[in-house]
Amino acid sequence: MNQSAFKDSGELHVAIIMDGNGRWATARGLPRTAGHAQGAVAVRQIVEAAPALGIRTLSLYAFSSDNWRRPTAEVRALLHLFARHLRSEAPTLAAHDVRLSVIGARHRLPPSLVAAIAGAERRTAGGRALDLRIAIDYSARDAIVRAAARLAPGEAGRVAFTRRLAEAYGADGAPDVDLVVRTGGERRLSDFLLWECAYAELYFTPRAWPDFDAGDLAAAVADFRGRTRRFGGIAAGSPN
C-alpha cells in the first residue's frame, strides 16, 4: 500500500522542537528569558503560516518534563509566559479557526496556568483549520508508561495503545508525525513524541527558534515533500 499517496493530499502533522532560545539571547547579551519571550513571538508567525503549507496538525514542544531541572527563575518565567500568551492569543486563534490543546501532565503546573490552558482550549474548541498542540510538561516516555498502565486486561494492539496514549497526555488523538523540525542546531528528539515519530522525516536547522520564520517553515515542508517515504516497502515505480 502506498501510504504516501494520502500524505500528498497535504494533511501533514508537523512537530517542532523549538530550541535555541537561550543561546539566541546569550549571543545578544540578553537574559535567556528574553529569548523565550522572542520565541513566543515566533510561534504566532508559524501558526499563521501552517495551514497554507498543508499542515493540519502542528505539535510544538514548549516545555519538556526534564526542563524542570532548569533554574527556578527560568522555569517560573516560562510558565508565566505560557499563561500570558494562552490568554492573549486564544481569541485570535479562535478567529483563525485554530483548535488549541495542551499535551502533557498538568498536575505540576501552577493553577493559574492550568486555568489559562482550560480557557484557551474551551475558547478554541470549534477550530477546524488547524489542530495546534502545545506540549507543556511533556515526556514521551512518561506518556508511553502511563498509556501502558491504562491498557485494560486483554486490551492489546497498536490501535488500542494509541488511544490510551492520547488519553495519557490529555488530548484527542492525532495522526502519526510526518515531519519533525528541530531548530537550534541539536540533532536529537529530547523525549518528544517518540511513539508517533516512528516513521517521521527529520529536519534539523541551525536557525535559533526566535529567528525561525514562515519562510523557514516553508523550506522545511518543501524539503519534506522532496523525500521518498517507504514505510518499510519500496518506492512506488521501483523495478521488481
Q: Which residues bind Mg ion (CB under 5 A)?
A: 19
Distances (CA, A) of 150 to 116, 146, 170, 175, 190: 27, 6, 13, 20, 24
Site for ligand IPE in 161-190 (CB under 6 A): 184, 186, 188, 190
Q: Is 21 a catalytic site residue?
A: no
Find the residue with minimal CB distance to ligand IPE. Answer: 22
Give residues with Cβ within 8 angstroms of 195, minimum separation 6: 140, 143, 144, 162, 165
Query: What proportions of the chain, in percent to the nearest 5, are helix, strand and coil?
Result: 45, 15, 40
Min separation Cβ 152 and ligand IPE, Å: 32
Nearer residue to ligand IPE within complex by CB, 20 or 127: 20
Min separation Cβ 70 and ligand IPE, Å: 8
Q: Is 172 a catalytic site residue?
A: no
Find the residue with minimal CB distance to Mg ion. Answer: 19
Count the residues of the shown chain that bind ligand IPE, applying the rule CB under 6 A. 17
Min separation Cβ 20 and ligand IPE, Å: 4
Min separation Cβ 206 and Mg ion, Å: 13
Beta strands at 201-204 and 55-64: parallel, antiparallel or unpaired: unpaired
Distances (CA, A) of 8 to 2, 135, 180, 224: 11, 26, 17, 11
State how far the Cα of 204 lies from the Cα of 183, in Å rounded to an integer: 6
The reply on whether position 45 binds ligand IPE by CB under 6 A is no
Residues that bind ligand IPE (CB under 6 A): 17-23, 61-64, 67, 78, 184, 186, 188, 190
**Which residues participate in catalysis according to the annotation?**
19, 67
